[in-house]
Chain A
């Protein structure tokens, strides 16, 4: 990472913001980031490629006479010219619901950069991938195995006409492994991966490989899928899929624009009382950790749904102005590091409580449904039938469909265990419609 780059950019960015305000803009901001990434990829169980990426990006936002416009680029030498382009564009700009960027207020310092992650070598990443591949291959030498690893370092600077000058430095690593088992025309895909900012115990190739092996074992046998309205158990990595419509409904812009079914439901019971949804941007080294939003407003830890009661919507600066609400420091009105608070039952007990249902690990096509309405429908890419509390085998040609607001309204159970990266528990929900092609013809 070039340590002097932010210093050189800082001067140009302040000049750009000053130039915009001198030309009549009531607000201006420039965000610059520079990332260096190194990674490797394995194909068919052996190293196939390594890569290095060194890229920069900046975005200039200008507000003038009730309008806003943005311009982006990646050549720092162009910045002055691009400010002029933004000032020309803003005359025909989008409607702005704020006049100026706010003055700086104290921010919480959130650890996001780890020296050990910065110094993670390409050779270490290759070694981690080799280890994952070796463990999974032991399970079945005929598997088609892929693996990848990366580490990145990013430095970023935000300068606003409100007086914010905020620099951040962040690191990140990721490793993952996937296996494909092909038997005739049947294909079983199993994969697992992790991403975190600090290099520590979570960087565990053996654990990742063991998760893949677990799914391969559960999926070895294809069984007759159940149909009807059934209980579905979601492991932590699948919970965010189910909550996708809820976060879209909590998005303050969707609320202000009238698109969210949750609008006018603040302080109402909208989900099962066992469900509390929180946003935790101050979690040290979490992938979504953030100190400040893209307008210069400090981020905050927030309980968004408290025991099923909707407590707040998430607003960025412009959407808050549109809704006549206070900004919550959420860029794009989205959560940074959303979690579901855990329940009190062991995950094994949730599984054991299922008479006939599914354990669903991955679904394809969910985003194609009418998500804003709460509808989710998709093909179970990796899922298992559960009978009398036991996983009996993998299902195929099986679709699940539900309105999330209906199925999360009651009858939800959560595990006490939480997956350490996603912060999610296991979630059991009832009444999901399962349609399937019978294996018996």
Chain B
């Protein structure tokens, strides 16, 4: 494939051009309630040519490599319509040709569909039957094997295999008109084993859905909140992480000024990192989708903004080093600046002391989701507890938190020592590209004066 891509690029008339071509095979099994709801598979292929002429980009997305030279010419024509300035792309330090094969401990492609189906059915049975007042359930197993081929007019090529296996599940409990749900999920890029032996988690989820029926809604207002590891990880991602993505900054002088390196950002104990090289986490790749090696990037160090996340273009235009964060969710879309594995570094306190420092507040646990609009963020906890006199008390539901990132990062006054990085079943969404594999991590943290929505 690399020769085919390189050959097609000879048709380029642009300052720079690249082709990314991908194949993806996927299997999906889902239950909803007692029955299998979806059994499907897909095999998709295709790619995108990106060309840059005098700083303007042209793109041509396609399915087949049959007329690839025509796609290259089309992308160059598109770019020529745009460019009026100078093509600026930060140099990439990577071998000219790389082949990165997946290292799977237990390859899901070798597991018969009947085994996968039986496993999902067994889990579904637990979700449905292991707690009172459970009315329904859902569970979705998904595996995909994506192979990315890349070539550029700079003479670089790579092939990287990116497998992923995911299990997402939940129970739905009902009491009259009141419906409550609990859910969880896991992903792995290395082993089918991540979906095995999860019976205990299915029981836990069913019990939680049932218990939420008796939990009162969280009162709206301004509260001191302790976030558990998983929710604090989502907070790091939503509230701050997106703001560090340089494609929101590089063409926007006011945002560049606001997010300049060296500015104070949060309390002195706060450090946030994005690291696309971490082990075998699902946010980890050797190269991003522009062929830049991924990296560990300090974003906030001791309460000071010290880094941005970059593509080659944003790095060049902001005079910083590329960080390997240009990522594309699927074959026919361009890479945009995305996070990888993003986490808050741990502090020295115990979880008990972080919670113990709250007279009256909310202990918010796990994430239902999160969304940001730059300085403004919101995220929902899957459940929470009241904190009274430093003790975790009554279970509450409908815990939705919001705030302004600049103010909220200044109100974190507790960092526990229990950093955990979580490979969830969801992913990150940006610019219609969802769900990108990322991980979130954090210790327990405590934040003063958080707006909590509630009825």
**A residues near B, CB below 8 A?**
43-44, 46-56, 67-75, 78, 82, 85, 89-90, 92-95, 122, 126, 142, 144, 180, 182, 184-187, 189, 257-259, 261, 364-365, 367-370, 372-373, 375, 377-379, 381, 396-403, 433-437
Complexed CA–CA distance, A122 and B117 (Å): 48
Complexed CA–CA distance, A179 and B71 (Å): 33
Q: Helix, strand, loop or mixed for chain B's interface? A: strand
Apart from A69-B40, A182-B258, A378-B453: 17 A-B pairs, beta carbons within 8 A = A43-B251, A50-B58, A50-B79, A52-B61, A53-B61, A53-B332, A74-B46, A92-B117, A184-B258, A186-B375, A187-B373, A187-B376, A365-B379, A368-B400, A372-B172, A399-B400, A435-B454
Set of chain B residues within 8 Å of A399, measured between Cβ atoms: 220, 378, 400, 402, 451-453
Q: Are B402 and A373 within 8 A (Cβ)?
A: no
| Neighbour of A258 across the interface among B33, B37, B377, B380, CB < 8 A | B33
CB within 8 Å for A397 and B42 given contacts A370-B180, A373-B179, A378-B378: no
Complexed CA–CA distance, A73 and B44 (Å): 5
| Neighbour of A94 across the interface among B38, B44, B58, B181, CB < 8 A | B38
| Neighbour of B449 across the interface among A434, A435, A437, CB < 8 A | A437
What 6 A-B pairs are tightest by C-beta distance, nearest first? A399-B453, A435-B220, A365-B378, A368-B380, A182-B254, A368-B369
Query: Number of A-B pairs whose CB atoms are under 8 Å?
Result: 237
Set of chain B residues within 8 Å of A122, measured between Cβ atoms: 78, 81
Q: Are B369 and A78 within 8 A (Cβ)?
A: no
Max chain A C-beta neighbours (<10 A), residue from B61, B378, B397, B398: B378
Number of interface residues of B (CB under 8 A): 79
Measured CB to CB, the closest approach of chain A to B76, in angstroms, equals 11
| Neighbour of B36 across the interface among A95, A258, A372, CB < 8 A | A95
Q: Which residue of B lies closest to A126 (CB)?
A: B81
Max chain A C-beta neighbours (<10 A), residue from B30, B44, B79, B84: B44
Set of chain B residues within 8 Å of A95, measured between Cβ atoms: 35-36
CB within 8 Å for A49 and B371 given contacts A95-B35, A381-B376, A437-B451: no
Complexed CA–CA distance, A377 and B397 (Å): 12
Set of chain B residues within 8 Å of A364, measured between Cβ atoms: 371-373, 376, 378
Set of chain A residues within 8 Å of B453, measured between Cβ atoms: 377-379, 399-401, 433, 435
| Neighbour of A377 across the interface among B57, B74, B81, B400, CB < 8 A | B400
Q: Are B39 and A397 within 8 A (Cβ)?
A: no
Complexed CA–CA distance, A372 and B180 (Å): 9
Measured CB to CB, the closest approach of chain A to B317, in angstroms, equals 11
Max chain B C-beta neighbours (<10 A), residue from A56, A142, A180, A377: A377
Question: Is B86 at the interface (CB under 8 A from chain A)?
Answer: no
Q: Are B135 and A258 within 8 A (Cβ)?
A: yes
| Neighbour of B40 across the interface among A70, A189, A365, A370, CB < 8 A | A70
Q: Are B180 and A259 within 8 A (Cβ)?
A: no
| Neighbour of A396 across the interface among B117, B179, B376, CB < 8 A | B376
Question: Is B221 at the interface (CB under 8 A from chain A)?
Answer: yes
Measured CB to CB, the closest approach of chain A to B4, in angstroms, equals 15
Q: Are A401 and B44 within 8 A (Cβ)?
A: no
Measured CB to CB, the closest approach of chain B to A136, in angstroms, equals 15
| Neighbour of B39 across the interface among A49, A89, A144, A186, CB < 8 A | A89
List, sorted by A's number, 30 A–B pairs whose CB atoms are closer than 8 Å: A43-B251, A48-B251, A50-B59, A51-B59, A52-B60, A52-B75, A70-B38, A70-B39, A73-B43, A74-B63, A94-B36, A144-B252, A180-B255, A185-B258, A187-B375, A258-B174, A259-B135, A365-B379, A367-B369, A368-B380, A372-B181, A373-B180, A377-B400, A379-B373, A379-B376, A379-B453, A397-B376, A397-B403, A400-B453, A435-B454
